[in-house]
Amino acid sequence: MKMNMKPSRPIGIVGYGAYVPRYRVAAAEISRVWRQGQDTGALPVKQKSLPGADEDTITMSIEAGKNALMRADIDPALIRSVWAGSESHPYAVKPTSTVVAQALSIAPYTTAADFEFACKAGTEAMQAALGFVGSSMADYSLAIAMDTAQGRPGDALEYTAAAGGAAFIIGPAANSVAILEGSISYATDTPDFFRRSYQKYPEHGNRFTGEPAYFLHISNAVRTLLEDLELKPSDFAMAVFHQPNTKFPQKVAKQLGFTPEQIKEGLLSPFIGNTYAGASPLGFSAALDAAKPGDRLLLASFGSGAGSDALSFVVTDRIEEVRFAAPTTRSYIDREVLVDYATYARWRNKIKHH
Amino acid sequence: MDIPRTWRLRDQRYLLQGNQCEECGELYFPKVFICHKCRCRSLKDYQFSGRGTVYSYSTVYQAAPNFDAFVPYIVALIDLKEGPRVTAQLSDISPGEVEIGMPVEMVVRKISEDGERGVINYGYKFRPPIPLEE
Ligand SMILES: [Zn+2]
C-alpha cells in the first residue's frame, strides 16, 4: 500500500516569502539571568529572534504573505484559501486568517481558517492547500506558517522559543517555482508537549520529546516518502528538517542518510532559535532562495502531539525569475539587533504590572 | 478604540487606500469626498505603494495607556512617493537611527490593544526598507 499523497493534477509552489523580526536575544544572556552563565558551554542555539512590541503572528503573516505575492505575481483575488498555521494566534476566537486575507486584498471570496498542530501547524496548512489546488477546487491557495513562541521564564525552552515563519502560494505547476512530487503525513497520539487553554506557557515531557516524538515521527514520514517515490537521500540537493535546536536536525539528517552539506542552507535555528510552526517552512524558504533549477528539495516538519509532514519538490527554471522579487530569508536574518533580557521580558509581557 | 470605525477604515489602515480625483487626478490620503483642487465629487479608490521619505519626526516618551507598550516610539510625517503627506509611527527603528529624508516603506503592525479583553487594532506604520538583492 502506497502511503503518499499525490494531487490529481500537477501543482507546486508559485510564490513564497519569509519573515523574521529584527530583534535577537542571545542564549548566553538568558543563561546569565537564570543560570549565572553556568551552561554557556552547552547552549542549544546561539541566539533567538523575538518580535518587536508591535508585532504578532498576524502582522508577521501579512509581511510573509506580501513577499509570497510579489514572487507569485498573481492577482490576490484569485486566491481561494488563506490558511494560517500557528500556536500563537493573537486571538483565541477570531481568525488570524481573515485579517491576513483583508490586508493582502484576497478577501472576500476566500476560505479562511487557522490551523493548530504545535510546530507542524504550518506544513499542515500546506498539505491542505496542496489538496485544495491539487483537486482543482481552487487555482491558488495561501498557506502560512508563523509563530511568536514563548517559553516559561527559566525553562529550557526559553533559550529557543522564537519568532518567524514563511508563506507559500500553491498553484498550477505551469507557473510554479517548485513542483510537488508527493507528500506523507504521519501522526500518532504522543503527549510530548502541550499547552492547556488559558495557560500562557506550554509543558513538555523533557526526554520524552526526543526519541518517541521528534525522531520517530520524522524518520517514519521521510523513510516512507522516499520508499513510495523510489528516491534516496542523495537524490536531494537540500533537505530541511524541523529545528527545535541545532542538534536534533543534524542528528535526524545523519540517521536518515543526509549529509551536513545537504541541510546547511535550511538550518537556521543556530541564528534565530526555534520558530515553531515557522521553523521548517522558513528553512525551506532559505533553501528555495539558494536552489537551482532541477534541484530536488525535501521538507520534513515535526509537531508535538505528534506528527510529521514530509514533502518532496523539484525546483523549476522560474526560480531564477522570482528569487530576488522579494527580500530573501537571509536579508531578514542578517538585520539582527541584539536586546538585553530586560527589554525582551518587557516586550514579551513577562512582567506583570497590573 | 471604536470597533465600527476601525472596521470601516480597515482598507485605509491595512492597504494605505486613499482616493484619486477622476477629474484632475489629484491623490488623497486619507480619502476626501470633494476634490480640494477642482471641487469635483467624483473620486475613485487609490492604493498607495507604501514608499516614502521622512519629512519630520518626534519621539514620544509619555503616551496614552493604549500605547504604553511601545514607548519610546517615533511619530513621523511621511511624504509618500505619490505625493500626500501622512502621519504615522515608525517601527523597527530606535530613536537614534531616524534621519530626515530617509526612505521608508509601509508595514502593517499592531497599533493598539483595547485592554486585555478588547479588540487588537492593526494598521500602517513605516520602517526602513528591507533591501532587495540582485
Ligand atoms: Zn480634482
The domain spanning residue A287 has which CATH number? Answer: 3.40.47.10
Ligand 1 center from residue B23 Cα (angstroms): 5
- For residues A142 and A68, is the Cβ–Cβ distance under 8 A? yes
Tell me whether residue A333 is in a domain. yes
Give residue A217's domain range.
Answer: 178-320
Nearest alpha-carbon partner for A22 in B103, B55, B130 = B130
Look at residue A353 in the predicted model and tell me its pLDDT: 59
Tell me whether residue B134 is in a domain. no
Instruction: List, as ranges, residues 83-102 from B with C-beta within 8 Å of A.
Output: 89, 91-92
pLDDT tens track for B78-101: 999 999 999 999 999 999 999 999
Q: Cα(first)–Cα(last) distance of chain A, in Å?
A: 58
* Domain shared by A185 and A310, yes or no: yes
Cell triple for A133: 489546488
Contact B70 A53 (CB under 8 A): yes
pTM for the model stands at: 0.97
Tell me whether residue B132 is in a domain. no
* Domain shared by A160 and A267, yes or no: no
Tell me whether residue A208 is in a domain. yes
Tell me whether residue A234 is in a domain. yes
Nearest CB among B14, B110, B132 relative to A55 is that of: B110
* Domain shared by A156 and A234, yes or no: no
List per-block mean pLDDT (blocks of 10 residues) for chain A, which spans 354 residues.
Answer: 89 98 96 90 93 97 98 98 97 96 98 97 98 97 97 91 98 98 96 87 79 95 97 98 97 98 98 97 98 98 96 98 98 96 92 66
B76 membership: H or E segment, kind and range? strand B73-80
Annotated catalytic residue A211: no
Measured over all CA atoms, what is the biggest interatomic distance in chain B, rounded to whole angstroms? 47
Look at residue A247 in the predicted model and tell me its pLDDT: 96
CATH number at residue B28: 2.40.50.840
Instruction: Give the best residue of B108, B113, B114, B132 to mutate against chain A (max A CB count within 10 A).
Output: B108
With cell 509563530, the residue in question is: A147
Give residue B65's domain range.
Answer: 3-127
Determine phi and psi for A46, rounding to 5 degrees: -80, -45
ipTM of the complex: 0.97
Q: Which residues contact A254 (CB under 8 A, 6 or more apart)?
A: none
Tell me whether residue A352 is in a domain. no
* Domain shared by A25 and A73, yes or no: yes
| A108 cis-preceded (ω within 30 degrees of 0) | yes
Look at residue A191 in the predicted model and tell me its pLDDT: 87
CA of A58, closest CA in chain B: separation in Å? 9
Domains of chain B: total: 1
CB of B111 less than 8 A from some CB of A? yes
Is the pLDDT higher at A67 or at B116? A67
